[in-house]
Structure 1
Amino acid sequence: MTINKVDIVYTWVDGTDPIWQEKKEYHLNSKQEYLQCQNSQISDDRYIEHCELKYSLRSICKFASWVNHIYIVTDNQTPHWLKKTDKITIIDHKDIIPEEFLPTFNSSVIESFLHKIPNLADNFIYFNDDMMIGRVTKISDFFKNEKPRVFTSSIFPSRKKVKDKPTYNMLSIKNSRDKVKKIIKANLNYGLRHGIRPINKSHFSESACLFNHVLQSNFNEKFRLTPFSLLYLYTFYEIAKNRSAITYQKHLKKPLLFDLFSTFIYINNNNIEYFSSNFEQLSPLVFCINETNTPLEKLPLFSNGLLSEKSEFEL
């Protein structure tokens, strides 16, 4: 049976919203432990708004016309530029997350309830709002032989030591890998690429139940304090059960003569100008714009390039 219905799920927040900012500050100061989080977890930079979602949706319209429906998961917010359309549904946190865990500013908590979205297709792709598609795609770029692709940063399993000052994500990956290994003895030592995540909803729900005892104690954390992630637990469990298609994704830094691997580019202040000016030559499958304070509308790609035209979703 060929997969022909795939939805997209975004998590999004407008960090410039004064009501949301006031709520965040109140809860941030409610526990001393939150103030001890890594700055990258709680600083305003993490929630800065450059209208990435608008440009990401443009990339969907231009390069992924096969997408069935789009869900935007958010906290009582709607993008001011978003046009009302039957193609997009806004999902409020309270629609999928139990009330006792709200409000939450913890992306790991929010991700743990994505499978609760009403009417969500059994196969979907999870995007952060700063992730975009960079070339014409088909469903098989994300699902191979009915299996969701797991985009890895290594061709073969290779266990690397955790750095002296590991990030939240590094520890979440390590913790998830170790927990799955206790259940299933398998070689799970792949590095995971930071990017979009093709997901099977039924299997994601299965992992939520299987690892509920691990997840439940962390759902009350308003901010990312304890490194945990259902997303990573699900990913390693699917690898162990041979229910995913492992796909190496090369981090592209310059144009290649041959596209041997699905390519990925992580954009920051150091390479954003080069990337924008050489976008068509680089032709990444996926790119992520993070850790930059450059207004996107001033870059060639978004001002007069391939992603400069309004999508059908914009006012």
Structure 2
Amino acid sequence: MLVRLCAASLNYRDLTVARGRLPRAKAVDLVPLSDGAGDRVAGLFFQAWAGGALSERMAGSALGGRVDGVLTEYRLFDEDGLIGLPDHLTFQEAATLPCAALTAWHALFGGARTLLPGQRVLLLGTGGVSLFALQFALMAGAHVIATSSDDAKRILMREIGAQETLNYRDQPDWGRVIAEQGGADHVIEVGGAGTLPNSMEACRFGGAIHLIGVLTGGQIDPTNIMRRNLLLEGVNVGSRAMFEAMNDAITTHRLYPPIDRVFPFGEAREAYRHFAGARGIGKVVIDIS
């Protein structure tokens, strides 16, 4: 199916591809970006993952890595690699869904331990996955704790609906602080090994840590995972079945993706630079129409 793309959005993965740091990514002449929308459809991040467990073959079908992406005016897709969009979203809004939104949905509702009403969710930072997780958690009736080193962003997270916020630079032992305040049933862990010890400390006994990012280095000590019966679960975007369930929820609850800034197609390089500087809160979108 030939799709006239109207918008695309950036994720942290796109920076690693541009910097040549994503293993096995296409080396030359790559059309970048995984998230795009047009003709009232979006491309699936994993073009071959319809449902069930992710396989190595399916993982090789990710857009903007080993497969050409969506920063282009037209793209040919297999019909199974496309999904319809919620009717109330613009193309710019819908272009933010395939990676960050679906990853957050998978973490909270598609894994081994599903978020329940009244549970406590800890978000690290204010990136795309964390922002979508905030919206989905509030939709499900959860209590949300958000961390950031930027007090202005903490205020914005509270305005969106987070019940608690914490500055992790001012309180480097933030895991202990959160544990003393009741802990978390779910942690959206986007930092990696460097933040994992605090995340484990913050997590309640029997809680789940959804490992999404690897932004910080360090070593992982499994002792606390075993001693406190924690689930450490790797989350890799999601399947078509998860995307369909997420779209139903977005439509039912009339959710709108948070957008920081929109750049025209001719300023794609500036969009990358703005995104890399992490200046705003919300998704960075490139308008292709």
TM-score normalized by structure 2?
0.30
Higher relative contact order (CA 8 A, sep 6+): 1
Structure richer in strand, relative to its length? 2
For normalisation by structure 1, the TM-score amounts to 0.28
